[in-house]
Each structure stands twice: as C-alpha cells, then as structure tokens.
Amino acid sequence: MKLIHKTWLIAFVSILILSCSSDDDNVDNSLSEEEFKSKIVGVWQIYSVIEDGEEFQNEGCITNTTFEFTQNNEFLADYSVDDDNNPGECIESSVEDTWSYLGNSQIESPAFDRVTDVQFEGDDRMLLPSSETEDEPYTQVLLRVE
C-alpha cells in the first residue's frame, strides 16, 4: 500500500508545519527553551506514519525527505516525493524558514503562521501529530540522522 503520494505529501508538509493538536498526554510541557533546543536541533528524516494506532514505514521518495532545525532557529527542509509521471523518479524541493519555541513543546514557523506540537521519544525519535481537524488524523515519525 502506497502510504504517501505527491498530492497527499503536499498536504502533509503543510500540516506538518502548520498543525496543532491539544493531545498533550505524552508531552513533557516543562521543557525550557534550552532543553527543547537540545532535543530538536539536528537533522531529522521522515521514517513512518502512525494511523489508528498502527505504525507504517514510509516507502519511496518520501524517505529521502529531511528537516533540519538549527541552534539559531533556522528550519531547512529538503522534500522528496514520488513523480507520478515517471515511476521510480523523485521530485525534490527545498524550503528555508525560521522557527521559534513557544513553550509547552510547541514550535511556530512565521511563514506559515501556525503552531506545531512536537513530541520526543528518547533523543532520536520525534513525533509530529496532525491537527485534530484532520479527517484522518495521523502522526508523522521522524528519526534523527545527525
């Protein structure tokens, strides 16, 4: 089953950056900005998606997508999606932006004017839940690669 195709990825990327959720059951809301930065700063690669409590590993070009959060609050994203017109080929693009920590494990990217909840499982696994307004809510799983 192909979990993510080009159209869905565009929506996903928007939601990833723009999403907000009030599901704070597993979020450590007591992180200071320095503690939060120590967890998020680095390069993260899209790994899987959790839907209805079941985790599915991503396949195809999406697995080449990375997000980098820098110490000086820059956000760099290198996106890769399957080219529906050329099987086996990828379409790539990049985004550069800034991010800020709002507290309560939430970040904001001014260019998108939205808030995103961030959850960590250990030091090398980041969870980004979709908005509760999504018809089919999911959580994107990213793994630290640097």
Question: What is the predicted pLDDT for the residue at 67?
Answer: 93
Rounded-to-integer distance, Cα 72 and Cα 54, Å: 35
Query: What range does the domain containing 11 cover?
Result: 6-144
Percent of the chain beyond pLDDT 90? 63
Q: Is residue 135 very low, low, confident or very high in pLDDT (cuts 50, 70, 90)?
A: confident
Find out whether 106 and 114 touch, Cβ atoms under 8 Å: no
Reported as half-sphere exposure (CB side, CA atoms, 13 A), residue 36 has a value of 22
In the predicted structure, residue 2 carries a pLDDT above the cut 80? no
- Domain tally, the chain: 1
Percent of the chain clearing pLDDT 70 (strictly above)? 75
Bridge pairing between strands 119-120 and 74-82: unpaired
Task: Please report, for the domain that includes residue 41, its CATH number.
Answer: 2.40.128
pLDDT tens sequence across 77-134: 999 999 999 998 999 999 999 999 999 999 998 655 668 889 999 999 999 888 766 6
Q: What pLDDT score does 131 carry?
A: 74
Residue 1 domain flag: no
AA identity, residue 38? S
DSSP 2: -
